[in-house]
Chain A
C-alpha cells in the first residue's frame, strides 16, 4: 500500500507541475485530469471509496470537461504566441520564494505535532450517506441552494446581450 501511495503522489505532483507550466490550454487541462485521477487513487487507498469515485465522476468528469468545453469554445489554442510572451522565466522567482517560505512554515507546523497511524478501515458509502442525511442535513440543503444559485448565475452571466435597436436609434443606444 505504501508504494502505491508514493507512486500516486508523485504522479499527482508531476502532472500538476506540468499542468501549470504548459502553454497549451488543452494540454494543461489534460494533465490536470491525470492529477485528479492520481488523487482519486490516493482516496481509494485511504479507504474513502465513495469519494474516490466521486472525484473521478464529478471533478474529473464534469468540472474539467466544462473547462475543456469553454476552452474549445473560446478557440484558445491559436494564442500560443501571447502565452510565450506572458510566461517569462523571470516571473517564477517571487512566487517561488513565497511558496518556499510557506513550505518551510508548513513543515515546521507539521513537525511540531505527533501523529499516529493513518487509515485502518474502510469507511463506506453507507456511513457517509447516513452522516449526510442525519447530521449534516442542513448543510446538504444549503449545498443544494448553492448549486441552484450557480445554475441561475451561470445562465444569466452566460447570456449575450441582444442588440435591441429602436427605430430612432442609430447604434449603441444613440438617439438620432
Chain B
C-alpha cells in the first residue's frame, strides 16, 4: 500500500504541449466519429468524447497554474454533459418511436423544400 507523505510530490515532467496535444487528438477522434457515423447513438457518444477532451484541457491548465479553477470547470462541464445526455437520449427514444430507425439522415424535415426548382427564363 502506498501511503502518501508530505514529501510526495506529483512530478509529471511532460511538457504541457504534449498533454494538450493528446487532448486535441482525443477531440479530433471524437470529431471524426461524429462525422462518420450515421447511427445517432454513436453521434451522441462522439459528442461525449469531445466534451471529455475539452474538460481534460481545463484540468491540465488548472494543474499548470496550481489553482482549483480547472477542476471546478470540469465539474461544470460534467454537469452540462449529464443534462445534455439525458435530454438527448429522451429525444432519441422519441425519434425511434416515430421513425422506427436510428438513422440520423432520416431527420430531414428541415431541408430546403425544393419549391422553386424552376430556373427563371
Inter-chain contact A95/B31, CB cutoff 8 Å = yes
Interface of B is mostly: helix
Minimal Cβ-Cβ distance residue in A for B49: A16
Inter-chain contact A67/B68, CB cutoff 8 Å = no
Kindly identify which residue among B25, B37, B52, B84 contacts A20, using a CB–CB cutoff of 8 Å.
Answer: B37
Q: Which of B9-28 contact A (CB under 8 A)?
A: 9-17, 19-22, 24-26, 28
**How far is the CB of B84 from the nearest CB of chain A, in Å?**
7
Inter-chain contact B33/A48, CB cutoff 8 Å = no
Kindly identify which residue among B28, B63, B102 contacts A76, using a CB–CB cutoff of 8 Å.
Answer: B102
> Number of A-B pairs whose CB atoms are under 8 Å?
234
Kindly identify which residue among B21, B37, B76 contacts A106, using a CB–CB cutoff of 8 Å.
Answer: B21
* Candidate in B15, B59, B70 with the most chain A CB atoms within 10 angstroms: B59
Q: Which of A102-132 contact B (CB under 8 A)?
A: 102-103, 106-107, 110-111, 113, 115-123, 127-128, 130-132
Inter-chain contact A48/B36, CB cutoff 8 Å = no
> A87-108 CB contact bits vs B (8 Å, 1 = yes)?
1000110111011001100110
How many residues from A make CB contacts under 8 Å with B? 86
Inter-chain contact A46/B25, CB cutoff 8 Å = no
A83–B10 Cα distance when bound, in Å, is: 45
Inter-chain contact A46/B60, CB cutoff 8 Å = yes
Inter-chain contact A86/B91, CB cutoff 8 Å = no
> B68-97 CB contact bits vs A (8 Å, 1 = yes)?
111110111011111111110111111011
Assuming A5-B12, A132-B75, is B82 touching A150 (CB within 8 A)?
yes
Inter-chain contact A121/B49, CB cutoff 8 Å = no
A155–B48 Cα distance when bound, in Å, is: 21
Kindly identify which residue among A48, A70, A83, A92 contacts B92, using a CB–CB cutoff of 8 Å.
Answer: A70
Show 24 residue pairs from A and B whose CB-CB distance is below 8 angstroms, ordered by the A residue. Answer: A1-B12, A13-B25, A13-B26, A32-B45, A32-B48, A47-B63, A50-B71, A51-B59, A55-B78, A58-B82, A59-B52, A67-B44, A67-B89, A70-B92, A76-B102, A83-B39, A86-B103, A96-B32, A98-B35, A106-B21, A121-B66, A128-B75, A132-B72, A150-B86
